[in-house]
């Protein structure tokens, strides 16, 4: 193998990963955009996020009620929409894991662990946003659009990078430090 081939090989692997990632990401987003999938999967998932968030808020002493994807209290109400349910970050993470060169078993474990971690992180997001809406409504908009949207996506990216580093180590593709 020439030096040129050695340089091209990692570049080729990166391009293949990026092409797979982009293709899967488009496919996943198109899939959830289809009305029957939205009605049968996304909306029930979003309602479950609302119920779980309401349960956590109730444990924290906030008097809330849930109707569909809406969480309401006497002081504040929030409607959990697509994009706020954590599913987009899950799809971003899933596309990256599925595109990464790892064993099917390692990918499946990564997908399950990543889904659970992103779901838990997003529940913290929804609960904290509701709390901010009740107790500091002047900060709600900035917390929602500037802080938490960025943090959830960043969390998914960091989660993938940590998983990918572990998958590479497990596959023996990178020497372990002595």
Please provide the DSSP assignment of 1-61 as one string: --HHHHHHHHHHHHHHHHHHHHHHHHHHHHHHHSHHHIIIIIHHHHHHHHHHHHHHHHHTT
| Contact between 57 and 127 (Cβ < 8 Å) | yes
Residue 8 and residue 15: Cα distance in Å, rounded? 10
Question: Residue 150 has what DSSP assignment?
Answer: H
Q: What angle do CA 28, 9, 157 make, to 5 degrees?
A: 35
Domain that holds residue 158: 3-170
Q: What percent of the chain has pLDDT over 90?
A: 85
Answer yes or no: is 178 within a domain: no
What ranges in 136-177 are assigned the alpha helix state H?
Answer: 137-142, 149-170
| Residue 8: alpha-carbon gap to chain centroid | 32
Task: Please say if the pLDDT value at position 176 is more than 70.
Answer: no
pLDDT tens-digit series, residues 98-137:
999 999 999 999 999 999 999 999 999 999 999 999 999 9
Q: What is the pLDDT of residue 127?
A: 97
pLDDT tens-digit series, residues 67-77:
999 999 999 99
Q: What order of strands is seen across the sheet that includes strand 77-79? A: 65-67, 70-72, 77-79
Answer yes or no: is 69 within a domain: yes
Pairing label, strands 65-67, 77-79: unpaired
Nearest to 126 by CA among 57, 67, 41: 57
Q: What is the pLDDT of residue 175?
A: 45
Q: State the Rg of the chain over Cα.
A: 20
Residue 114 and residue 43: Cα distance in Å, rounded? 21
Answer yes or no: is 22 within a domain: yes
Residue 74 and residue 110: Cα distance in Å, rounded? 40
Under the banding of pLDDT at 50, 70 and 90, the label for residue 151 is very high
Task: Indicate the pTM of the whole model.
Answer: 0.86
Give the chain's domain count: 1
Under the banding of pLDDT at 50, 70 and 90, the label for residue 1 is low
């Amino acid at each position: 193998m020439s030096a040129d081939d050695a340089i091209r090989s990692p570049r080729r692997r990166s391009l293949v990963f990026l092409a797979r990632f982009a293709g899967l990401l488009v496919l996943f987003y198109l899939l959830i955009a289809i009305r029957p999938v939205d009605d049968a999967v996304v909306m029930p998932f979003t309602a479950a996020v609302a119920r779980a968030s309401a349960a956590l808020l109730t444990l924290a002493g906030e008097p809330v009620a849930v109707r569909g994807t809406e969480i309401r209290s006497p002081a504040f109400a929030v409607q959990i929409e697509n994009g706020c349910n954590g599913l987009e970050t899950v799809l971003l993470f899933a596309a990256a894991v599925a595109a990464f060169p790892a064993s099917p078993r390692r990918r499946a474990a990564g997908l399950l662990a990543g889904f659970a971690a992103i779901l838990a992180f997003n529940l913290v997001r929804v609960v904290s946003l509701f709390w901010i809406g009740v107790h500091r409504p002047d900060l709600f908009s900035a917390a929602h659009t500037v802080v938490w949207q960025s943090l959830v996506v960043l969390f998914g990216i960091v989660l993938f990078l940590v998983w990918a580093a572990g998958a590479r180590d497990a596959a023996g593709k990178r020497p372990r430090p002595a």
